[in-house]
Structure 1
Amino acid sequence: MRVKTEEAIRALRGALKLYGFEETSGIELIKYRENYVFRLTRETGDSYAMRLHRAGYRTDDEIRTELAYLQVLGEQGLSVPEVVPTLDGEPMCRVQAEDGTDFQLDVQRWIEASQPLGDVAEALAGTSSLEPETFRRLGILAAELHERTTAVERVCSFQRRAWDSDGLVGDAALWGDPLAVDGLGRDDAALLRSAMARLKRELDVMDTSADGYGVIHADLTPENVLVQDGRLIMIDFDDFGEGWHLFDLATILFWYQPHPQYEAYRRELFEGYSSVRPLPAHYPASWEAMLLARGLTYLGWAGERSGDPEAAFIAEQVVPMVLEQARHYISTTISPARTGS
């Protein structure tokens, strides 16, 4: 459920005392997608990201799990946001809007003097000026994340949903039904339905051993990697959970498929990753399947949000690319064989 921005800010102000923040602190809306994200600036000049979660989207335990992982990963030296607890040491709290709706709130320290690595529209248009070397660094970053999440035992009872076969293309896929996206014709729907059935069979037998499956970010788009003095920082772990490590790599490159340097980007991404941890043997053969799975999630997301400007962008710009992926996938794949357990 969404409330008006002014009402959300009033709800936030009621919680400032829980963090020891001045009630006169400035609050600025940064974005609204799944959650509201505000920037709070204190009288001291310190800034914080305040995330007001969409009501009912996550449970308290799911959010606590995310924040617990952020803390552990930060302590291990990974470049991630710093969680700011309440004065009572709680990683999150609840606030109430004027209409009585309860929202979860968490606070992270603002990453100063930073900017997003890129933009999905620019990437999709093929006009990104990023050099292939940047994707080598992204591969290293993803591998370092997977190294640490593989080594860390499940924390906070681990309450997160999985980007597994069911989560990606099952009947209750995490981001919704791809066939619900606006403007999909009958023949296109039939094509996607056929590709999804074949993809489901392939994912059902894909290796889920620890060398290629575990806790992942799940949303490593160019907007969710910040650049600060040349350092790459991963943000927005809202969708993190269990899944194939390859899914993170597919997310990094999905939007850059139309780019003239796509093949160089992919080569550098994989080489950077393999410089930190070995690439499982099935990665090359599973790459197109994982790219298609990533694309289908975006169609499902748009189908759940008909009328949203970003959903309209996906219907117009992403659907044609995913349809072409589906055609290629059906024409080139054979019946999958089990790759591990």
Structure 2
Amino acid sequence: MVEIGYKLASEEHGPLDLVCNARQSEDAGFAFAMISDHYHPWTTRQGESPFVWSVIGGISQVTAELRLLTGVTCPTIRIHPAIIAQAAATAAAMMPGRFILGLGSGENLNEHIFGDRWPPAPVRIEMLEEAVDVIRTLWKGGMRDYYGSFYTVENAQVFSLPETLPPIYIASEGPISASMAARAGEGFINAGTNAEESLVVFRDSGGGDKPAYVEFSVCWAESEEEGRMTAYEQWPITANKGELNRVLPTPAHYEQLATMVTPEDVVEDVPCGPDPEVHIKKIEESVRKGFDHVCVHQIGRQQREFMEFYMNEVLPHFR
């Protein structure tokens, strides 16, 4: 049985719109929502990047059943894991049983802003694993100290702990992070790159039957051509391969990179247009790969229209 969720793209929508979209996605029948945590959008055309923890507070007040996970938060450089421990505990207290802390190793785009060195991927993954340990240590309650390879915490106590602590899911797009996610996480998240391969490593490394989430982008529009052009203009990063989306520091760099790709490159794996079968097929592909939770990101401004389309034409197919 697959559950289908809705992506709250902080890069494209302001805080009030994100809160509104979360409420509408619950009304439309999506089982969960995943919200991105960025300091910058990928490109200036996307145009937004509100502080995710403030938005989560707003969402907690306008939804009743929608589960929400950060997709994903980086607790390593820009924000110390002790602060994430407090923020996530507060979110879980405001959304009892409905909040999941999704964590990842981040992007230079968001994490470089204080001038810190951006380490190579294996080091970032080590930092993430230690950050998870910091968070869980503080969630035990009481006054805590922590002296690790990357992080120090002294005389810290998270007083506002929820009755039930939120689960921690780990994002992965490669074998090293997938095996770490199996060790340190209670679930698995993939943003659409190397999805099947990473999930196999996660399962084989001890992930077992833990929840597995995958995200992909679509662009509903009144015509396939309109959808393809919107996807190309708003979300050119889908064409980027390898480490590119992890290492470039500014939206300007992503805009320069976008001049080197074509609309065909961008929409190669992005369902576009109003044909429900195209969207259903994409979800079914994810299920065949072994994912039990599929998060759909609608590119562009037509969020209400997209949700109505999924409510009427796509979600009933999977009930």
TM over 0.5: no
Q: TM-score, normalised by structure 2?
A: 0.29
Larger Rg: 1 or 2? 1
TM-score, length-scaled by structure 1: 0.27
